[in-house]
Amino acid sequence: MVSPELIDLAYLVASVLFIMALKGLSHPRHAVRGNLYGAIGMLIATVAVMLSAGLDFTWIIVGMVAGTAAGIWYAYSTKMTAMPQMVALLNGYGGGSSLLVAGVELTMHGAKQSSMELIATAVSGLIGAVTFSGSLVAWAKLEEMKIAKDLRLPGQQALNALLVAACLALSAALFYHPTWIVLYWLIVVVSLVLGFFLVIGIGGADMPVVISLLNSYSGMAAAATGFVLGNNVLIIAGALVGASGIILTQIMCVAMNRSLTNVLFGASGGGGATMSKQEVDAVYATVKSTSPEEVAMMLEVASRVVIIPGYGMAVSQAQHAVSDLTEALMEKQITVEFGIHPVAGRMPGHMNVLLAEADIPYELLKEMDEINTTMEQCDVAIVLGANDVVNPIARESTNSPIAGMPIINVDKARTVVIIKRSLSPGFAGIPNPLFAAENSLMLYGDGRHAVVEILNALQGK
Ligand code: NAP
């Protein structure tokens, strides 16, 4: 058996690597290195845990083989476009495993657990279960499943408060009766219901806030389980995930002009009234369409072009074609920039990751506030598979799922070309008057295909 000092040293090295990983991940230029540090740290932590106590490896190996096989199958069978859903599920599994480990520890050593360990056990059960059920609902919403449509019961806030109170009462009871294991599983059941209701009512523009919050919860649940097990590296790793998730949540709230309490307790981002087909048709009465050749001619005479990518760029995997188009335009001395909305796509940083994958220089990517100050000086704005993040309804309406959300003001550009397959709505499910604006032209088609055709026309092929 390896000495405890050596194990502690390994934990320390792993923890330092986790911190270096977070630092590395803060910028695309060193993100790959950051990722590597994190992976090495996790390997060291896992090996150290395995060597630390006199463990029976039989079930551990069975679990590892089954988990690895399922993980490899799942990762390979998941399309790139379904990555956000996969991330949501993995978050949920983190919460689920934390609550299971804390539950097993309580069953085996409950009678001997200290006050701190008992409190940590209850916290792990509560946050772990909220993370698990909340993440499953988030996954279903990202899959755009009908059963996960926004649902808010009358008196929902009172019901949520009641569920929290029940969890606290059960936790207090567990504290005084640590051998009554059933109390722990009751905390888990009540928290699963709480997690479901906390997320099912949230929709439209508020989803990114919830996703980063669930990410943070999974870290907090892991840290609590670290206290239950007395495992320092789990406490540190969990705290890092919890803290960075909270910072990301705060960034998302500020970017979306939302307050966290409003998102969680339903005071913003309401479903809004659904429009009839006639009303939608009226919004789109003056839509004009264009062709790749016409767009190429407009680009030819432009001096500044701004590309606004959205979820459709991810679906069509258009980033490499966009990179080629950017290069061709820059060769013609045309300034090209990208307007990146903080919630474009389906996960935080989605567009940045795709554009970095296609080697588009990071300096060309401008955040929403920066690009908005110069939209009037833009000759052609190309909206590539984006919809909600450029929808002027957000500025004008108070009764829509995206009301109050800051958008990229593409309508201020001289000409706007919108590339998408149809007039279908985006994630928030509402029509977009931008498509019918006087300076807008629709280029219908798959994002990648359309960009390739524009490029061919530009190069006279
Ligand atoms: P969006 O509003 O969901 O619109 C995406 C558009 O892409 C659709 O209207 C669709 O129109 C088009 N599209 C789909 N496949 C395409 C293809 N192959 N080629 C071309 N176009 C295609 O996307 P967004 O503007 O990026 O806004 C993101 C939305 O997701 C926001 O409401 C945000 O709150 C929400 N959300 C974001 C996150 C996050 O963390 N970023 C997480 C959860 C939810 P067609 O079908 O007509 O082609």
Task: Decide whether any atom of ligand 1 lies within 6 Å of the 429 Cβ.
Answer: no
Alpha carbon of 394 to ligand 1 centroid (Å): 15
CB neighbourhood size of 43 (10 A): 12
Query: Model confidence over 38-96: pLDDT tens digits?
Result: 999 999 999 998 888 777 888 889 999 999 999 999 989 988 788 888 989 999 999 99
What share of the chain in percent tops pLDDT 70? Answer: 97
What six digits make up the tokens of 95? Answer: 């919460």
Chain mean pLDDT for the chain = 91
168 SS3 class: helix
Widest Cα–Cα separation across the chain: 79
CA-angle at 385, arms to 379 and 386, nearest 5°: 75
What residue's CA is closest to ligand 1, atom 13?
Answer: 312
What local confidence, expressed as pLDDT, does residue 421 receive?
97
d(CA 451, CA 456): 9
Q: How far is the CA of 389 from the centre of ligand 1 (A)?
A: 8
Give CA–CA dist 235/226, Å, rounded.
5
Q: What strands, in cross-sheet order, belong to the sheet with 365-367?
A: 365-367, 335-340, 304-309, 380-384, 415-420, 440-444
CA of 289 to the centre of ligand 1 (A): 20
User: Which of the residue ranges 19-33, 197-211, 362-376 would you say has the lowest mean pLDDT?
Assistant: 197-211
Determine the average pLDDT of the residues in 279-285.
84
Distances (CA, A) of 324 to 276, 319, 338, 447, 449: 41, 9, 14, 14, 13
Closest to 407 in 3D by CA, of 429, 420, 392, 421: 392
User: What atom of ligand 1 comes closest to residue 138's alpha carbon?
Assistant: 43
Looking at residue 192, its amino acid is L
Pair of tokens at residue 229:
């097990």
β-pairing verdict for 304-309 and 440-444:
unpaired
Per-residue model confidence (pLDDT) at position 204 = 67
| Atom number in ligand 1 closest to CA 256 | 34
CA distance 212 to 342: 12
Catalytic residue among 8, 150, 281, 388: 388
- Do 14 and 47 form a contact (C-beta atoms < 8 A)? no
Question: Which pLDDT score, from 0 to 100, does residue 272 have?
Answer: 52
CB of residue 400 inside a 6 A radius of ligand 1 = no
Higher pLDDT, 53 or 5: 5
User: Is residue 410 over pLDDT 80?
Assistant: yes
pLDDT of residue 268: 45
Decide: 318 in ligand 1 pocket, CB within 6 A: no
Q: Is 24 in the pocket of ligand 1 (CB under 6 A)?
A: no
**Ligand 1: centre distance to CA 92 (Å):** 23
**pLDDT score for 404:** 87
Task: With beta carbons less than 8 A apart as the criterion, state whether 434 and 392 touch.
Answer: yes
* Residue 266 pLDDT exceeds 60: no
Pairing of strands 380-384, 415-420: parallel
Stretch 346-354: mean pLDDT: 89
Whole-angstrom CA distances from 60 to 50, 64, 74 are 9, 6, 21
**449 CB under 6 A from ligand 1?**
no
At 357-397, the pLDDT tens digits run 899 999 999 999 999 999 999 999 999 999 999 999 999 87
pLDDT of residue 142 exceeding 60, the answer is: yes
Say what the pTM is. Answer: 0.83
Task: Return the ligand 1 atom nearest residue 386 CA.
Answer: 25
Provide the phi-psi class of 75: left if phi over 0, else alpha when psi is between -120 and 50, else beta: alpha
Q: Does pLDDT of 262 surpass 70?
A: yes
In this prediction, residue 149 carries a pLDDT of 75
Q: Residue 263's pLDDT band (boundaries 50, 70, 90)? A: confident
| 113 DSSP β-pair partners | none
**pLDDT band at residue 151 using 50, 70 and 90 as cut-offs:** confident
Residue 267 has pLDDT above 50, yes or no: no
- CA dist 263 and 138 (Å) reads 14
Query: What is the predicted pLDDT for the residue at 269?
Result: 46
Residue range 230-250: mean pLDDT, rounded: 93
The reply to whether 411 belongs to the active site is: no
Residues 6+ apart with CB under 8 A from 424: none
What's the gap between Cα 1 and its chain centre? 42
Q: How would DSSP label each residue in 37-60?
A: HHHHHHHHHHHHHHHHS---HHHH
* Closest residue to atom 4 of ligand 1, CA basis: 426
Helix axes 447-458, 319-331, angle to 10 degrees: 20
Residue 193, CA distances (Å) to 136, 137, 157 in order: 12, 11, 13
Nearest CA to ligand 1 atom 48: 421
With the most atoms of ligand 1 within 8 angstroms of its CB, the residue from 249, 420, 452 to mutate is 420
What are residue 104's phi and psi, to 5 degrees? -65, -45
pLDDT at residue number 283: 84
270 pLDDT above the threshold of 60: no
Kindly calculate the radius of gyration of the chain based on its CA atoms and give it in whole angstroms. 25
